[in-house]
Structure 1
Amino acid sequence: MNIQQRMILFISKSNWYIFCVVSLLAFINTPRHFALGIFCGGLIVTLNFQALQHTIRRAFKNSSQVVAAGRSIIHGVIIKYYLRFILSGVMLFLLISKNIVDPLGLIAGLSVVVASFFAATALELTRLIIKEAV
């Protein structure tokens, strides 16, 4: 398994692990309003990342094919991306404007995927450094 595949697999799994651990700790240690923000933000970003991964894998599975009417598969991926982006924005707007969640908790929850990227990068850098040292 090459480095890119290993990182994608790690990020996909660690998103859910970090989301569950952070949400659980938030509900135990913080006020409900803040913890709900972390939970909702983490859920939105994790599901969005999984949907993007699924869309891209399906699109590039048969990348040589062209969709009817001359539109490429990439066009469909971009449309789905923007639809998810708009849907996520509407959900975030509603969560904040209806005062359902704490905005700072929401920002913390939205950082789940970023934390997974940092962890994956640190792990791969550690593997490369140890590999060079040996």
Structure 2
Amino acid sequence: MGVQQRILGFVTRANWVLLALAAVMGPIFFPADVAMGLTCGALIVTANFHLLSRTLEKGFRPRQLASGNVILAKYYVRFLISAVIIFFLISKHLVDPLGLILGLSVVVVSVTLATVCELMKLIFKEAV
């Protein structure tokens, strides 16, 4: 398995784990609206990442190579749907914006963790 596949697998799993942690631990440590924002943001960004991954995997299969326009159209539709959901959540005061921003950072945290893990593997591999 290549480094890219290993990182993608790690990021995908870490996204779902961080979503679960946000849903379980958020209400324990934060007020209800912040916890709801954290969970909703994590759910939005994790679902978007998962759907983008599926779109790209299907789009680049040799048999059914999709055009770049189809991939971009799906991306923009997902983006608009996410924007409408976020606007609705904030405008109706269902979530705290700071909690939502923290939740939307789940993929960034997952990518950072994956990078740190790969760097640690490289450093310790060099040391041995």
Residue deviations 1:49-77 (CA, integer Å, cap 9, x gap): 00000000000012774xxxxxx621110
Give the letter aligned to residue 32 of structure 1: A
The partner residue of 1:113 within 107, 117, 122 is 107
TM-score, normalised with respect to structure 1: 0.91
Bigger radius of gyration: 1
1:101 equivalenced with 2:77 (yes/no): no
Q: Which runs of at least 4 in structure 1 moved beyond 6 Å after TM superposition?
A: none
Pair 86,40 (structure 1): closer, same or farther in 2 beyond 3 Å: same
Consecutive unaligned residues of structure 1, counting only runs of 5 or more, are 66-71
Q: CA RMSD in A?
A: 1.3
CA distance in 2 between partners of 1:58 and 1:64 (Å): 8
Residue deviations 1:4-36 (CA, integer Å, cap 9, x gap): 000000000010001111221111121111100
Give the letter aligned to residue 77 of structure 2: L
Q: CA deviation at 1:133?
A: 1.5
TM-score, normalised with respect to structure 2: 0.95
**Identical positions, percent:** 45
Contact 2:26/2:38, CA 8 A, preserved across alignment: yes
CA distance in 1 between partners of 2:13 and 2:28 (Å): 23
